């Protein structure tokens, strides 16, 4: 496409920005500069979406440069109808994070913004990578800025949370590396993901590699029982950290299933689908029950993520078109609505310095605009018809009911529990007699904060009522994926 | 059948939505704000009724905006069944708007702007549901109605309304998040579409009987607004709302939305054939018969006037469903006509309860001794409303119950005829004593906290609308042609 390496530009723009940041003077200059760089990156992503050919299932905007010829390792980029949306989501949340940290981060602003720029480059890189080593390197290195964001700008128990986050994901990543090398040797000694997808692997190898990948991806999603790092990380992370964590990093795990497990290991995926469906159903219900029991706003939303991401893995392993497209739209939706919820919790926290749900009451009287927008995102999160969440949920459930009645029932139960804790949260905090923690300065949303919420709100209703653009770009790639996951016949 | 592409269904929905915006903008000018409510109500009714000639001629007005999911559009269709619901709710909004102004002002209620805005959006949701062309569109409006009536139920913001609104939300949202969600997902999976079809969307799906029965039961439980026992407890709880809300929303728009959704499911999703062959019709008939009788028994024991009316509503809603599930043309005509008949009578009764409360701050029937001499117009209207509930001519209730009785007598199960007659007696037993107490018992000495009886007098702004609705309920009995014709059209479409 006119020869310009747009994906490289998309990845390198924040890197270049990060290189300039140390030379700027003044905190505001750093903030404005980062904002502009990430906005430019977002606009580029929008342009890519506009230029994307929706009829094609092939990888588009491809770039390939051989890096280490002896190992057939390369700098290979490309996006399809699935990853293009995650590139958009990542770049959208990027500049929102800058705005959300405008006043919340007052110390070491330069370092913070550098971290934001770096992590954005890496995240976009992961979604664009078509080379296994490139993917793995970015996937790993991404941990570092996130570790720093939690460990330096986090809350009181930040070091513990940062370590826990790092250790969990690192442990998973090591198994990912083992599985990846196994594929390299079995798949014709190449790291080209497209070639690896086309290759066929013996069943036993598939199962072992699948299990290795499962650990890595399950930690990221996170699936029960390896979810325990998430609440700690969310509670301690600054707002921007939570938004990135919930909005993008959790998607990496599900994206891993989509890019690796399903197309490369189709027999093992089919064989182990009952396990995956069971784990997903458990995550949906158990995550929901945990959320129901929380008295900390951030923990509640963190556990709700476990539950909502359970719908994603559930949909993916139905091997059914409704379920899978529901899963992908649910991934995107979760990024939007949970990102927004963490943003809003951050806005409250800035004003009151308390995360205890019981410390609040009747806030809608003091901050009506905040209250109404918060309600909109909560409703999106609990998947009320007309919001984006409902589209994902209904598709996943329709797909699931076609495969497993009890898993569908578990999904419905999870949706019911979701309504209970989200509405309970709203009722406690926003309605009833007015009650705010001592020393709070209640002020309604500022223009900067509205600017963060507006695009997210747009997506909530756009995808809730008119998801067709999303689905039509997604469909060819998903259809292609469906042909890849037809078992090769080596299953026993 | 004539199809006309028309924007009118959308306009009818948009009018009250736009009005809600205006109402919010005009919060500092109460007179203008309240005028907007009334004007929007009149305009909305005119738009709805302008579609009637075409629908009565057997046509439909349709508008498809865009595709939501493959096989599911965001689409509207004004057909005969939708017209029944839309006409009733938009016509009664006019009187409810006038009544609300009198009610809210005479009690000096707080947050009136929020009240009127939420009220207007509720009407958009109700008419949106009436004109929804498929389950997805219907459910969007169904949920909007649940959400937007929540602040109305919670209006007083005291501990009683806190508890009531909680129960309201738990029941309605809980039922829709569990059963309705499952029903929708299963329907989409089975049929690949969510459209209403005249013979039933699932009629040709070829799915097994137990699965279809499960889907149907999920709808029955999920549309908890229909208040079929055991999913009825939200309705008495919602009585903590100001009376105009109880009158228009919890006797007309919200509850009829639930019943309307069930009629859609019975006729246009499951289909008459499957309802009959799977035995779902008869099973539902027993369930709603139980509701009809039990709710009346509950009503009999309630001294709080609004609570008695609420249980009466639970009972009467099941009449409508009973009419549909008997699957005979006469019964179904009775059921559909009862949507209108019950609405006109019950709104009158609630208006009267509100009028009594405004004038005297009395809520219990036992405190109403002799109040008929102070509030003659109100209590006369109450009597007329009671006639409709019992089904005595010339009220509209007589016409619909007449069809219901004919329909159930034509069927094989005489038990439903017995239920209808027993319920009529029960209705008489809990409504007529109110009138008797009001007119024929001697005034009791004043109770502390209540307005002394000699100071009780009619509030014109409140009394006029309730007289009009009382007269309308009689007019409906004398000339039910409009709704009966629409009901016949629904039957013809469903193949009965």
Beta carbons of B77 and B61 less than 8 angstroms apart: yes
Query: How does the average pLDDT of chain B come out, rounded?
Result: 88
Q: Are the C-beta atoms of residues A464 and A391 closer than 8 Å to each other?
A: yes
Q: How far is CA B422 from CA A35, B290, B297, B324, B406, in A?
A: 73, 12, 11, 19, 15
pLDDT (mean) for A289-316: 93
Rg for chain B (alpha carbons), in Å?
A: 21
Average pLDDT for chain A:
89
> Smallest Cα–Cα separation from A236: which of A148, A117, A175, A311?
A148
Segment B184-216, tens digit of pLDDT: 999 998 988 899 988 888 888 888 889 999 999
Q: Which long-range contacts (CB under 8 A, 24 or more apart) does A146-152 make?
A: A146/A119, A146/A241, A146/A244, A146/A245, A146/A249, A148/A111, A148/A115, A149/A112, A149/A115, A149/A116, A149/A119, A149/A237, A149/A238, A149/A240, A149/A241, A149/A244, A150/A233, A150/A236, A150/A237, A150/A238, A150/A241, A152/A108, A152/A111, A152/A112
CB contact under 8 A, A384 and B68: no
Half-sphere exposure of B142 (CA within 13 A, CB side): 31
pLDDT at residue number A420: 93
At B114-142, the pLDDT tens digits run 888 998 999 999 999 999 999 999 999 99
Q: What integer pLDDT is reported at residue A490 of this predicted model?
A: 46
Does some domain include residue A452? yes
Interchain contact, B185 vs A409, CB within 8 Å: no
* Cβ <8 Å between A398 and B188: yes
Whether A491 maps to a domain, the answer reads no
Q: How far is B160 from chain A (nearest CA, A)?
A: 12
pTM: 0.92
In a domain, A17, yes or no: yes
- A430 located within any domain: yes
Nearest-5° Cα angle at B317, B313 to B318: 125
What's the confidence (pLDDT) of residue B382? 92
Q: Who contacts A133 (Cβ-Cβ below 8 Å, separation ≥6)?
A: A67, A71, A73, A191
Who among A394, A416, A466 is closest to B184 (CB)? A394
CB contact under 8 A, B68 and A412: no
- Confidence category of residue A352, pLDDT binned at 50, 70, 90: confident
Strands in A246-404 per DSSP E: none
Range of the domain at A268: 6-484
In 3D space, the residue among B90, B83, B94 whose CA is nearest the CA of residue B484 turns out to be B83
Give the chain B residue nearest A392 (alpha carbons): B69
Total number of domains in chain A: 1
Dist. CA A11–CA A6, nearest whole Å = 9
Q: Helix or strand or coil: residue A439? A: coil
Q: Which of B169, B181, B189 sits opposite A322 (nearest CB)?
A: B189
Is residue A114 a contact partner of residue A360, using CB atoms and an 8 Å limit?
A: no
**Closest Cα partner for A179 from A201, A209, A203?**
A209
Judging contacts by C-beta atoms under 8 Å, the chain A residues touching residue B189 are 322, 398-399, 401-402
Which residues from B are below 8 Å from A393, CB to CB? 181
Window 154-193 of B, Cβ < 8 Å to A: 154, 157, 162, 166, 169, 173-174, 177-178, 181-182, 184-186, 188-189
Token reading at B117: 């805005």
Asked, for residue A490, whether it belongs to a domain, the answer is no
- The number of beta carbons lying within 10 Å of the beta carbon of residue A321 is 17
> Closest to B177 (Cβ–Cβ): which among A409, A416, A466?
A416
3-state secondary structure of A272: helix
Chain B residues whose CB is inside 8 A of the A402 CB are: 189
Q: Which residues of B touch A387 (CB under 8 A)?
A: none
Write out the H or E segment, with its range, that includes residue A271. helix A266-292
Residues of B in contact with A384 (CB under 8 A): 143, 147
Tokens of B166: 């909680």
The answer to the question of residue A1 being in a domain is no
Share of chain B above pLDDT 90, in %: 36
pLDDT digits (tens, 9 = 90+) for A99-152: 998 888 888 888 999 999 999 999 999 999 999 889 999 988 888 899 899 888
Closest-CA residue in chain B for A394? B185
The minimum CA-CA distance between A42 and chain B, rounded to whole Å, is: 26
Q: Which pair of tokens denotes residue A400? A: 């699931």
Segments in chain B below pLDDT 50:
none
What CA–CA distance (Å, rounded) separates B396 from B344? 8
> According to the model, what pLDDT value does residue A302 have?
92
Structure tokens at B211: 């699965």
Report CB contact under 8 Å: A416, B169: no
């Amino acid at each position: 496409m006119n020869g310009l390496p747009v994906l490289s530009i998309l990845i390198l723009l924040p890197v270049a920005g990060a290189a300039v940041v140390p030379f700027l003077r003044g905190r505001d200059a750093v903030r404005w500069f980062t904002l502009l760089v990430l906005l430019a990156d977002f606009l580029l992503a929008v342009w890519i979406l506009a230029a994307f050919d929706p009829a094609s299932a092939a990888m588009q905007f491809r770039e390939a440069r051989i890096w280490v010829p002896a190992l057939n390792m390369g700098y290979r980029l490309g996006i399809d109808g699935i990853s293009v949306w995650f590139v958009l989501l990542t770049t959208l949340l990027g500049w929102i994070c800058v705005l959300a940290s405008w006043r919340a981060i007052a110390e070491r602003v330069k370092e913070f913004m550098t971290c934001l720029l770096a992590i954005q480059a890496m995240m976009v890189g992961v979604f664009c990578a078509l080379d296994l080593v490139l993917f793995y390197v970015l996937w790993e290195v991404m941990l570092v800025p996130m570790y720093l964001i939690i460990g330096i700008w986090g809350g009181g128990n930040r070091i513990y949370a940062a370590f826990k986050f790092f250790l969990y994901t690192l442990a998973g990543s090591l198994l990912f590396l083992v599985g990846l090398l196994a594929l390299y040797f079995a798949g014709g000694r190449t790291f080209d993901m497209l070639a690896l997808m086309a290759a066929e692997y013996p069943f036993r190898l598939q199962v072992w590699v699948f299990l290795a990948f499962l650990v890595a991806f399950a930690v990221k999603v996170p699936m029960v029982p390896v979810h325990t790092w998430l609440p700690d990380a969310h509670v301690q992370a600054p707002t921007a950290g939570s938004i990135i964590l919930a909005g993008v990093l959790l998607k990496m795990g599900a994206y891993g299933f989509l890019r690796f497990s399903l197309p490369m290991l189709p027999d093992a995926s089919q064989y182990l689908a009952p396990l995956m469906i069971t784990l997903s159903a458990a995550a949906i219900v158990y995550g929901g029950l945990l959320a129901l029991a929380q008295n900390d706003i951030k923990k509640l939303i963190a556990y709700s993520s476990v539950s909502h991401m359970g719908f994603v893995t559930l949909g993916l392993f139905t091997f059914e078109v409704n379920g899978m497209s529901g899963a992908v739209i649910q991934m995107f939706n979760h990024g939007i609505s949970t990102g927004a919820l963490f943003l809003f919790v951050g806005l409250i926290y800035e004003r009151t310095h308390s995360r205890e749900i019981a410390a609040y009451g009747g806030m809608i009287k003091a901050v009506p605009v905040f209250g109404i927008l918060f309600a909109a995102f909560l409703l999106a999160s609990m998947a009320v018809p007309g919001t984006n969440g409902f589209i994902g949920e209904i598709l996943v459930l329709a797909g699931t009911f076609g495969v497993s009645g009890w898993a569908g029932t578990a999904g419905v139960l999870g949706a019911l529990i979701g309504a209970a804790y989200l509405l309970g949260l709203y009722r406690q905090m926003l309605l009833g007699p007015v009650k705010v923690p001592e020393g709070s300065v209640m002020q309604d949303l500022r223009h900067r904060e509205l600017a963060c919420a507006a695009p997210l709100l747009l997506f909530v209703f756009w995808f809730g009522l008119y998801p067709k653009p999303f689905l039509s770009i997604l469909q060819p790639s998903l259809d292609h994926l469906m042909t890849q996951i037809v078992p090769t016949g080596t299953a026993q | 059948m004539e199809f006309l592409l028309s924007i009118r269904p959308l306009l009818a929905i948009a009018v009250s939505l736009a009005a809600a915006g205006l109402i919010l903008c005009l919060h500092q000018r109460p007179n203008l704000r309240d005028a907007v409510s009334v004007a929007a109500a009149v305009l909305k009714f005119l738009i709805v009724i302008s579609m009637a000639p075409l629908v009565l001629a057997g046509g439909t007005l349709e508008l498809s905006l865009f595709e939501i999911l493959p096989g599911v559009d965001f689409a509207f269709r004004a057909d005969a069944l939708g017209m029944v619901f839309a006409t009733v709710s938009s016509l009664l909004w006019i009187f409810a708007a006038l009544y609300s102004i009198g009610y809210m002002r005479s009690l000096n209620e707080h947050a009136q702007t929020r009240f009127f805005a939420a009220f207007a959006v509720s009407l958009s949701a109700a008419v949106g549901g009436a004109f929804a062309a498929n389950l997805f569109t219907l459910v969007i409006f169904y949920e909007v109605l649940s959400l937007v009536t929540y602040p109305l139920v919670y209006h007083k913001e005291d501990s009683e309304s806190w508890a009531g609104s909680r129960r309201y939300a738990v029941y309605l949202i809980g039922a829709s998040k569990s059963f309705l969600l499952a029903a929708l997902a299963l329907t989409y999976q089975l049929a690949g579409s969510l459209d209403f079809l005249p013979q039933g969307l699932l009629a040709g799906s070829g799915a097994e009987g137990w699965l279809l029965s499960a889907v149907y039961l999920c709808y029955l439980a999920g549309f908890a607004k229909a208040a079929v026992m055991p999913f009825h407890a939200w309705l008495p709880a919602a009585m903590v709302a100001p009376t105009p809300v109880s009158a228009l929303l919890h006797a007309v728009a919200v509850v009829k939305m639930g019943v309307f959704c069930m009629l859609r499911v019975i006729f246009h999703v499951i289909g008459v054939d499957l309802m009959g062959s799977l035995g779902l019709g008869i099973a539902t008939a027993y369930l709603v018969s139980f509701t009809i009788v039990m709710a009346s028994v509950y009503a009999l024991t309630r001294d709080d006037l609004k609570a008695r009316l609420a249980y009466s509503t639970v009972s009467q809603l099941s009449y409508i469903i009973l009419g549909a599930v008997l699957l005979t043309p006469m019964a179904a005509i009775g059921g559909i006509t009862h949507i209108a008949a019950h609405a006109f009578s019950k709104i009158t009764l609630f208006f009267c309860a509100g009028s009594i409360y405004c004038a005297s701050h009395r809520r219990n029937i036992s405190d109403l001794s002799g109040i008929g001499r102070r509030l003659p117009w109100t209590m006369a209207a109450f009597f007329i409303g009671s006639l409709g509930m019992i089904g005595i001519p010339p009220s509209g209730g007589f016409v619909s119950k007449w069809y219901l009785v004919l329909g159930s007598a034509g069927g094989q199960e005489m038990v439903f005829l017995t239920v209808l007659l027993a319920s009529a007696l029960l209705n008489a037993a809990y409504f007529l004593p109110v009138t008797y107490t009001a007119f024929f018992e001697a005034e009791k000495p004043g109770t502390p906290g209540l307005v002394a009886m000699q100071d009780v007098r009619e509030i014109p702004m409140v009394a006029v609308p309730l007289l009009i609705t009382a007269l309308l309920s009689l007019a409906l009995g004398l000339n039910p042609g409009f709704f009966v014709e629409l009901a016949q059209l629904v039957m013809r479409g469903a193949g009965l």
